[in-house]
Structure 1
Amino acid sequence: MGRIRNKTKSNPIIGILCEGKSEKQYFTMLKQKYRLANIKVKIVAADLSGKSLVEKAVKFGKYNHLDKTYVVFDRDEHSKDELRKCAKLARKNDITIMFSSIDFEIWILMHFESVTRSYTRKELVQKLSRSAYFNQDYSRFKGNSYREYIFDKVQDAVDHANKLYRKKSDWINDDPFTNIQIYLPEIFKRDNF
């Protein structure tokens, strides 16, 4: 008589492709926090168009046999038309876009407070540099570990982002905007952070 194999389903292999070091550090922190080896976090390349990021994600997902792929980027200089093309390409290839406007740092700021107004990149850096936040020049900090600053504040960010999303849910036109909180539960298999 042959052996009976254990039919437990393993966790799906998830890829999170990022535009920069800040995003990679953030999602690596969450991967470690929740001890999930099935998540691959990689920087694709900075300064690419949204469409190019999605194209790279498609190739990366196929090459690495990923079950689900996410692309994380922000507004940069992307035109509305380019964002629409990016969304169409992503849908066609089952890629999920996690987007922040104007910058990923709007999501980081939400770990500390609600966001109700638009910020420039410079304003975000100045604000996050203050003693109540990172207490250092945030522009030099970017790309370093977030662990000691926001490790236990992820649920605050989710709550703040959900509050904003009820008022601003159009990723192409709204600023401020983020949809990161929507996808965290499916990536990390939890409802509370």
Structure 2
Amino acid sequence: MTKYRLSRSISLPERVLVLCEGESEKVYLSGYKNEDANRRRLSRVEIEIYQPKDFSPLGLLKEARKKLKEAKKDHYPYKSVWIVFDRDQHAHIPQTIHEAHTSEPVINVAFSLVCFEYWILLHFERSRKLYNNCEQIKKVIEKDYLPNYAKTMNFYSLIKSAINTALENAAWLHQQNQPDINNGVPLVSLQAYTSFDQLIRHLDEIKSE
């Protein structure tokens, strides 16, 4: 990206990098970014959203570190970097979270269990229910809230009006989980969890100059 070094006098957009494991996360974030009010507010922010070839938790972390080095070399660093993934059947999740949080600079983590669809569910209900797999959550979403729901459909437009409800319900879920976390229960062993709300709150707080 040599073009970024052409002139130090050029005011470049703030950069945010989000590396996603799955399609539904990309659909949601793209919908958020392109929503009229957000598009205007973030007009001076470059939000890069993509899914690398290796989208395992460690693969996302490795790609994030690679992109950070490239950005530093090009003198156009990222303001923040996020990796977004689910529990699913992935290995090395605690290792990935620990290494991300202790990286320099810090790589933020938006982690959900059992999958990203729990964040979608929180748009409609306050829940701490245990789901054994993602298919169970998807069936609830499709049956009660979003008929014909699919990971690749443009569902953001259908639920964007409930985003504040999702943020409130996620805050409630954090409160419910905190006693277990304080007692040393690993995130991967909680009944239900998502920190995707932290990514949304971060994006909500960005102000264009």
Q: Same fold (TM over 0.5)?
A: yes
Aligned to 1:70, the other structure's residue is in SS state: strand
Cα displacement (A) at 1:107 = 0.4
What is the alpha-carbon root mean square deviation over aligned residues? 2.1
Match of residue 89 from structure 1: 99
Consecutive unaligned residues of structure 2, counting only runs of 5 or more, are: 1-8, 72-76, 182-186
Distance 2:162 2:97 in 1: 30
Consecutive unaligned residues of structure 1, counting only runs of 5 or more, are: 1-6
Q: Deviations over 1:23-80 (max 9, x none)?
A: 001111111121124211111246x43112111121123334322110000001134x
- Report whether the alignment pairs 1:58 with 2:62: no
Cα displacement (A) at 1:116 = 1.7
The structure 1 residue matched to 2:30, chosen from 5, 8, 28, is: 28
Distance 1:126 1:185 in 2: 27
The letter of the residue matching 1:92 is S
Question: Contact 2:32/2:156 (CA < 8 Å) preserved in 1?
Answer: no
With the length of structure 2 as denominator, give the TM-score of the two structures.
0.76
Change (3 A) 1:173 1:12: farther
The structure 2 residue matched to 1:40, chosen from 34, 48, 62, is: 48
The structure 2 residue matched to 1:154, chosen from 158, 163, 174, is: 163
Deviating 4+ runs (over 3 angstroms) = none
- Report whether the alignment pairs 1:178 with 2:194: yes
Question: Contact 1:50/1:86 (CA < 8 Å) preserved in 2?
Answer: yes
Question: Contact 2:15/2:46 (CA < 8 Å) preserved in 1?
Answer: yes
Question: Contact 1:20/1:45 (CA < 8 Å) preserved in 2?
Answer: no
Match of residue 3 from structure 1: none
The structure 1 residue matched to 2:15, chosen from 13, 16, 23, is: 13
- The 5-angstrom pairing of residues 160-171 of structure 1 reads 160-169=169-178, 170=181, 171=187
Distance 1:104 1:44 in 2: 17
Question: Contact 1:16/1:70 (CA < 8 Å) preserved in 2?
Answer: yes
Cα displacement (A) at 1:10 = 6.5
Change (3 A) 1:45 1:153: farther
Aligned to 1:54, the other structure's residue is in SS state: helix
Aligned to 2:14, the other structure's residue is in SS state: coil
Question: Contact 1:18/1:45 (CA < 8 Å) preserved in 2?
Answer: no
Higher share of residues assigned helix: 2
Distance 1:11 1:49 in 2: 29
Question: Contact 1:14/1:187 (CA < 8 Å) preserved in 2?
Answer: no
* Percentage of pairs with the same residue: 25
Count of paired positions: 176
Distance 1:164 1:135 in 2: 25
